[in-house]
Amino acid sequence: MLQSLTQSPSEPQFVQNPYQFYRTARKAGDLFLWTDYDRVSAVSHQAVSAILRDRNWGREIPSEFRQASPEHLEPFMQLERNSMLEMDPPDHTRLRGLVNRAFTSRRVNSLEPEIKRIAECLATGHESQTIELQRSFAEQLPVMVISSLLGVPEEMCGQLLSWSHDMVAMYQANRDLPKELQAAKSAGEFAAFVREQIERKRAEPANDLISDLITAEDEHGRLTSNEMVSTCILLLNAGHEATAYSIGNGIKAIVESGQDPADLLSPARRDATVEEILRFDPPLHIFERHAKRDQSLFGQRFSRGDTVSVLLAAANRDPNVFRSPDDFIPGRTVAGHTSFGAGIHFCVGAPLARLELAVGLSTLFEVHPQLSLTEAPRYADRYHFHGLEELWVSLGNRPTN
C-alpha cells in the first residue's frame, strides 16, 4: 500500500532543509504519494535510477492526455515544445545527436583558461572585506562562460540572466499568473534575440557553438528553425542556472565543513570534492516522467499517461548506496549520484559544469584562502531549485573561536 505524505514545498523549514523530509519519505519505501503535488514520487536511489533509465517512462505526456495550454503562455510553450529536454525518441535522439556533435569534449576542455580568467576577474578587485558571493561570483561565472561558448556578446549577460530567471519561475512551486505572464514575455524576447544571433552567425560563422550547430545542421540536417532557437535557449538557460546554484552550495559546503579548502581543491583532490558537492547538495531536486504504457513498478500499478516525480536529491542521500549520506565527505566513492540525471536525458553539460566548479572554486579559494561566512546562508524559496538567496562572506581572516 502506497503511503501518503504531506509537505508543502514552500514551507520555510523544508526550503532550508528538504533532506529531513526525504529521510522520512524514504522510510515509506521506494515510492510514496506526495499529497501536495497529488503525485507518486520516487525517493530511493534504486527507484529514481530505474525510472530515469526506463524507456517505458518518457518526458512527453502521451498525445491523448495532452491539454491545450492557455493562450497567454504560447511564447513560452513554443520554446518548450521544441526543446529536446521535453522530447522522447526519435525527436530527442535527432536533436541530442546534433548538440553532441557541436558540444565536444575538446571544445569543453579548451575552456579551462577562459574559466580561470573569468573566475579571477570576478574574485578580485573588491573594495569591501565583506561581500555577497552568490550574485557577484556564483551567478556571474556560468553565464559568462556559456555566453562565450555560444558566441553571445558578453554585455548581454545581465539580460540573459533576467530572461532565464523569468522563464525558470515556471518550474517552481510558487508559480502564479503574474509569473506566467512575465515568463511568456521573456520567452518571446529571448527567442527574437536568439533568432537574430543565428542569422548573424549564418552570415558570418565564428568559432563558437551556435556556428557549430549551424554547420552540424547543414551537414546532418533535419532541424527546424524553431528547434534551433529552442536548442540555443536550452543551452543558455540550462548552461548557467544549475551551475550557479552548485557553485554557491559548494562554497557553503566547503566552508561549513571546516576542512582546508586548499587541500580539498588541490589538483589531486578537486575533482572528487566537486563530485561530493554535487551529491551532497544538488541544485535540481525533482523531475517528472510520464508512463508510456500500463505497467507495474515497485509493486504499484501505473496506467499510460500517469506521472511520477523522481527526487534526484533524495536518491543522493540513500543510505543503501552512500555511507553516512548526510555527511560531506570529499573523496568518498560517489559513483552513481543522480544530480545530472541518468539515461537518455543525462545532462549534456555535465563535463562543462564539473570543469566550472573545479576551476571556479579552486580559483576563488586561491585568491581568498581566508574566506569565511559572516552569516548563515539561506536558500531561496524556489523549490525545485535548491540554491542560495545570498552568500555573505568575509574575505579576510577567519574569526577565531
Which has the closest alpha carbon to 289: 302, 298, 276, 273?
302
Closer CB to ligand HEM, residue 182 or residue 230? Answer: 230
Distances (CA, A) of 201 to 114, 205, 215: 22, 5, 10
Closest residue to ligand HEM, judged by C-beta, is: 349
CB of 391 to ligand HEM, least distance (A): 16
Closer CB to ligand HEM, residue 160 or residue 242? Answer: 242
Give the Cα separation of 97 and 344 in Å (integer). Answer: 11
Interface with ligand HEM includes 284 (CB under 6 A)?
Answer: yes
Closer CB to ligand HEM, residue 31 or residue 235? Answer: 235
Q: For ligand HEM, which stretch binds (CB under 6 A), given 118-126, 131-139, 186-194, 280-288?
A: 280-288
Binds ligand HEM by CB under 6 A, chosen from 18, 58, 283, 360: 283
Count residues near ligand HEM (CB under 6 A). Answer: 25
Interface with ligand HEM includes 235 (CB under 6 A)?
Answer: yes
Binds ligand HEM by CB under 6 A, chosen from 239, 325, 330, 387: 239
CB of 168 to ligand HEM, least distance (A): 12
Task: Yes or no: say if 86 and 112 are a contact pair by the CB < 8 Å rule.
Answer: no
Give the Cα separation of 397 and 301 in Å (integer). Answer: 58
Q: Helix, strand or coil for residue 383?
A: coil
Site string for ligand HEM, 302-341 (x = CB under 6 A): ----------x--------------------------xxx
Site string for ligand HEM, 352-391 (x = CB under 6 A): xx--------------------------------------
Closer CB to ligand HEM, residue 85 or residue 364? Answer: 85
Q: For ligand HEM, which stretch binds (CB under 6 A), given 19-27, 219-227, 231-239, 265-273?
A: 231-239
Give the Cα separation of 321 and 6 in Å (integer). Answer: 26
Binds ligand HEM by CB under 6 A, chosen from 50, 85, 119, 361: 85
Please tell me what DSSP assigns to residue 224.
-
Q: For ligand HEM, which stretch binds (CB under 6 A), given 9-17, 169-177, 240-248, 249-257?
A: 240-248
Q: Helix, strand or coil for residue 372?
A: strand
Task: Yes or no: say if 79 and 233 are a contact pair by the CB < 8 Å rule.
Answer: yes
Give the Cα separation of 90 and 95 in Å (integer). Answer: 9
Interface with ligand HEM includes 234 (CB under 6 A)?
Answer: yes
Sequence-separated contacts (24+) of 117-126 with Cβ below 8 Å: 118/144, 118/145, 118/148, 119/359, 119/360, 119/363, 119/364, 120/363, 120/367, 123/363, 123/364, 123/367, 123/368, 124/367, 126/395
Give the Cα separation of 166 and 159 in Å (integer). Answer: 11
**Cis peptide before 283, with omega less than 30 degrees from 0?**
no
Interface with ligand HEM includes 287 (CB under 6 A)?
Answer: yes
How crowded is residue 121: how many other Cβ atoms within 10 Å of its Cβ? 13
Interface with ligand HEM includes 238 (CB under 6 A)?
Answer: yes
Interface with ligand HEM includes 96 (CB under 6 A)?
Answer: yes
Q: Where are the alpha helices (DSSP H) in 169-240?
A: 177-203, 209-220, 225-238
Site string for ligand HEM, 22-61 (x = CB under 6 A): ------------------------------x---------
Q: Which residues bind ligand HEM (CB under 6 A)?
A: 52, 84-85, 96, 234-235, 238-239, 242-243, 246, 282-284, 287, 312, 339-341, 345, 347-349, 352-353
